[in-house]
Amino acid sequence: MKYIGYFLSFIVVYSFYFPFKILPYQWCLSYGMFLTNLIYQFDKKHRKVAAENIRFAFPDYSEDQILNLVKAHYRHLGILLAHTLWAPRMTRAWLDKYLVVDESSLKIEEDTKREGVGVILISGHFGTWEILVQFLGIRMKGGGIYKKVRNPFVDTLLKRMRSKNGVVLVPVEESTQVIKLLKQGYWIGFGADQNAGKAGIFVPFMNRQASTFVGPALMAYLTGAKMLYYSVLAGENGKVIVRVKDLGLVDKKLYPKKDDVIRHYTELWTKTLEEEVKLFPEQYFWVHRRWRTQPQQIDSNTNSN
């Protein structure tokens, strides 16, 4: 019975996916925004979550500014949805037409490629991150961390979509494989800004402490890989804007303790993400509960055990 339920859920998912598989790119963008505009009308729960997150992040905003940002965010979610489901169709010709990379970012990319080192490519739930997954496979020797979905039919579909352009997908449980790929010169993408719960460390992000995964900094520490931060943003007329920041190599002499070094670089990439979010606030994923875990919750749970 469980697998029948999984299959029926898959049919629903696939029915949403199918138009993005056949429609022209610009039509997909319009269709995505049409769908999220409909969702906005009924999705009171996530509108409330987004507004609450924005109040903390931008305490000087009026209620009208918050409402306008939530509306703009839902329009962006339509583009994100379209890019996520359209992205497996990406080609080099499409990249030549729609990808916009400034000179500074392009120089960082080209210099790093010439160095031939492994790269920790750090991004967040910001902009249009599924486009990043696809062009990693086309433009770099790319890999990504992959978390399995409970529904096996949906999991197979998503994995096939994400690996369409040659990106190597590594299950989140197989950290040793990530180390091996980095030492072979792969660029491994980390979308590490989800709530890490008890598994993370607390660092400041958008005016609150946020439980944050240390994976990117830890892998850079263990492998000597270079850290690059990427923003991949939805631009005008279907363009995709890429902004790259060079976070460098881990300096193990920076602090005497390993944990302090890892904290420093985790704070560094989180601060870089924050600066980008402030420039393009409608493109952050405000509907997720990034700050769900707070230090006092961890303290109270520890004291009760």
Q: Mean pLDDT over residues 197-214, rounded?
A: 95
Is the confidence at residue 302, as pLDDT, over 60? Answer: no
Tens-digit pLDDT profile for residues 214-236: 999 999 999 999 999 999 999 99
Q: What is the model's pLDDT at position 304? A: 53
Are 51 and 209 spatial neighbours (Cβ–Cβ below 8 Å)?
A: no
Helical pair 215-223 and 175-183, crossing angle rounded to 10 deg: 50
pLDDT of residue 175: 79
pLDDT at 137: 87
Give 173's pLDDT tier (boundaries 50, 70, 90).
confident
Which of 41-55, 75-89, 139-153, 205-219 bottoms out in mean pLDDT, i.e. has the lowest? 139-153
pLDDT at 6 over 90: no
Q: Give the integer Cα–Cα distance in Å for 249 and 112.
A: 12
| Residue 305 pLDDT | 52
In the DSSP assignment, the letter for residue 281 is: G
Please, what is the average pLDDT of the chain? 92
| Residue 1 burial (C-beta neighbours within 10 Å; 0-12, 13-18, 19+) | exposed
pLDDT of residue 10: 86
Bigger pLDDT: 43 vs 152: 43
* 7 backbone dihedrals φ, ψ, rounded to 5°: -65, -40
Does residue 205 surpass a pLDDT of 70? yes
pLDDT of residue 119: 96
Tens of pLDDT, residues 129-141? 988 888 888 888 8
- Mean local confidence (pLDDT), 98-126: 95
Binned at pLDDT 50, 70 and 90, residue 300 comes out as low
Domains in the chain, CATH or no CATH each: 1-294 (3.40.1130)
pLDDT of residue 174: 80
